[in-house]
Chain A
Amino acid sequence: MAAIEILGLEKTYMVGFWRKRPKCALRPLQLTVEEGEIFGFLGPNGAGKTTTLKMLMGLVFPTAGTARLLGREWTDPEVKAQIGFLPEQPYFYDYLTAHELLDYYGQLSGVPARDGKRRVEEVLSRVGLTDVKGLQLRKFSKGMLQRAGIAQAILHDPKLVFFDEPMSGLDPLGRREVRDLIEQLKQEGKTVFFSTHILSDAEALCDRVAIIHKGELRGVGRVEDLTSTVQGKVEVIWQGEQIPASMKALGAECHVTGDRVRAVIAENQQDAAIDALRRERIRLIAITPLRTSLEAYFVEKLQHSQASAGQTVGTTV
C-alpha cells in the first residue's frame, strides 16, 4: 500500500484588489510515496513545497484534485492520528513548558492518558530536551524550538511523518542528530516525507526525491538513479599534495584540498593511474565511479525549466 498518493492536487489563489487575478501556486501534482520510504521533496523557496504539505494537512484547500494517506481519504480526521507534521519554522504556545506542550498535543492526538507521561519523557529525551522540559518555550532558542517541533511530530508514534524544512535553524550537530533521527524512523518502519532545499541532506537520507519548481513537478526518482554514473569516468583520491607528472600525463583534472588530491580520469586509465601512484609510493585512498551529484541534477532541472519558460514567453510574444 502506498503511504501517500497525491492525485492531481492543484492550487490557484485569486490575487489582486478584487481577487480576480489567478496565481497558480501548484499545478496538478501526481506523486506516490511507498510505505517505509524516506522521500525528499526538493525545490527552491516559493516552489510550492509548503503549499503541498499544507494541502495534505488540510490547512489549505486544493482548487482541484485529491489525495490518499495510508490508504484513506486525506480529509478523514481519524487518519491524522497516524500522521505527524512539523511545519516550517514552527512556533508554539510560548506560555507552555516543553513538557506541557507535548502533554497537550498528546491529548489532542488521542494518546491514552496512562501512556502519555511516558511517551512525553521518551520523546523529550530523544530530541535532547529533557534538561529544559520545565522551561517555558518563550525562553527557547530557534534550534530548541525546532527540536520541540520534531518531538510533537513523533510524539504519538505516527506511521507517516511530514517534515517541512526539518534542518532549518539547526547547528551542524543538530542537523546530524535530525538526520540520525530520520534514519531511525525509517528503521522503525515509518514513512518520512520531508521538504528541503538543502540538497546534501536529501542526498544523504532519501530513498527517492521529487523536484518541484514554480509549482510544477520537474522530476522524481531514486537518488542513485538521478545521481547516475558519468559514463567512462572515475574519481581517484590520494593522500598528500603531490601531483605526479605521470598522472598529469594521463590527462587527470586534479584538485588539491588540504592533504588530499582528487583527480578525475578516464575509466580506461584507471590501472595506469594506480601504477603511477605506486611508483611514487603515494597512498591511494579511493577510486570510485564518478556520479552526477544531486545538486548538479537539481540545477540542470531548474535551468531546463527556466529555459522552457523563456521559450514559451518568446513564442507567446
Chain B
Amino acid sequence: MSARVIPRIGHIASNTFREAVRDRVLYNLIAFTLLLSGAAIFIGQISIDVERLVVVNLGLTAVSLFGVVIAIFIGIGLVSKEIEKRTLYTVLSRPVRRWEFIVGKFFGLAGTLVVNTFFMGIGVFAALLYVAHKFAAADASILVALYFIILEFLIICALALLFSSFSSPLLSAVFAFSLFVIGSFAEDLRGFASLSHGVMRWIATGAAYLVPNFSALNVISAVAHQQPLGTQLIVQNTLYALFYTAMALSGAVLIFERRNLK
C-alpha cells in the first residue's frame, strides 16, 4: 500500500467535512438549541422531580434523530451527487483508488456527525444543569449514550453510502430510513424469530441478524432512569458497530469498484 493512501483519504474526508460546513449542515444546531432550551424552560416550570428524566430523554432522542436525518440525507448524496455532477471524474483521474474515495467520504461524514454530536452533547448537559442545578455522578452515563449514538451514526453513514453506490438518492433514502426503523426494533424482531416455527423461523432469524441492531445501541431510557451500563455492553456494542460498519463499507466499495461512471 502506498504511503500516500492515508493522507489522500484524509484530504477527501476533510473536503467532505468542509462541504457539509459550507452547505450549512451545522445550522441544525440552531434548531436543536432552540428546541432543547425551550423544552428545558418549559419542563422546569411544570415538572416536579422528573426534570432530569425528561430532559435526558428528550435531549438524547433529539441528538439521535437530528444526526440520523443528517447521516441519511448527506450520506445518500455522497457518491451519487459526485457522479451526477461529474466532480468525481477529476478525482478518480488522479492517483486515487475508488476504495480510498469511499472511505474518505465515510470519514468526512462521520467527522461531521461527531462534531455535531459534540455540540449537541454540550447542549444536553447545559439543559440538564439548567433544570437540575447540579450534575450527579450518574450523569456520566450520558456520555456513554452519546458514544452509542455516534456508533449508530457510523452504521447509518456506511449504509447510506452502500445504497448510494448503486441506487438513486431517493431510493437510497427510503432504504436507509427503512433499515433505521427496522433496526430500532431489532430486539423485537429477534424475539419474534425465537417464537416462530419452521421456515418462518429461519427467515425471521436471518432478517433479525441481518438488519443493524439499533435497539442494542439505544440506552437513552436506561441512562434517563440512571440505570448502570456495564463495560461489557460498551465493548460489545463497539465491536458490533465497527464490524457492521466495516461490512457495509466493504459492500459499498465492492459495488463502486465495478461501476461504470457514464
Binding site for B on A (CB under 8 A): 54, 57-61, 77-78, 80-81, 83, 85, 87, 89-93, 95-96, 104-105, 107-110, 149, 152, 156
Contact = CB atoms under 8 A, between A and B. Distances in A.
Given A107-B8, A108-B96, 8 more contacts: A60-B262, A80-B94, A80-B95, A81-B95, A91-B85, A93-B15, A104-B15, A108-B95
A92 B92 contact: no
B181 interface: no
B212 to A, nearest CB: 31
B89 A85 contact: yes
Interface residues of B, number: 28
Interface in B164-189: none
Interface stretch (B17-25, B140-148, B236-244): B17-25
B165 to A, nearest CB: 15
Contact of B94 (A81, A95, A96, A149): A81
Contact of B92 (A59, A93, A107, A152): A59
Contacts of B195: none
Given A54-B261, A107-B11, A83 B93 contact: yes
A169 B183 CA distance: 50
Nearest to A152: B90
29 contacts: A54-B261, A54-B262, A57-B92, A59-B88, A59-B260, A60-B260, A60-B262, A77-B97, A80-B93, A80-B95, A80-B96, A85-B89, A85-B90, A87-B86, A87-B89, A89-B86, A90-B86, A90-B89, A93-B15, A95-B22, A104-B11, A104-B15, A105-B94, A107-B8, A108-B8, A108-B11, A108-B95, A108-B96, A109-B94
Interface in B69-119: 85-97
A60 B86 contact: no
A42 B69 CA distance: 48
A247 B88 CA distance: 61
B4 interface: yes
A58 B87 contact: no
Contacts of A58: 92-93
B261 A108 contact: no
B142 to A, nearest CB: 34
B89 A57 contact: yes
A60 B95 contact: no
A301 B83 CA distance: 35
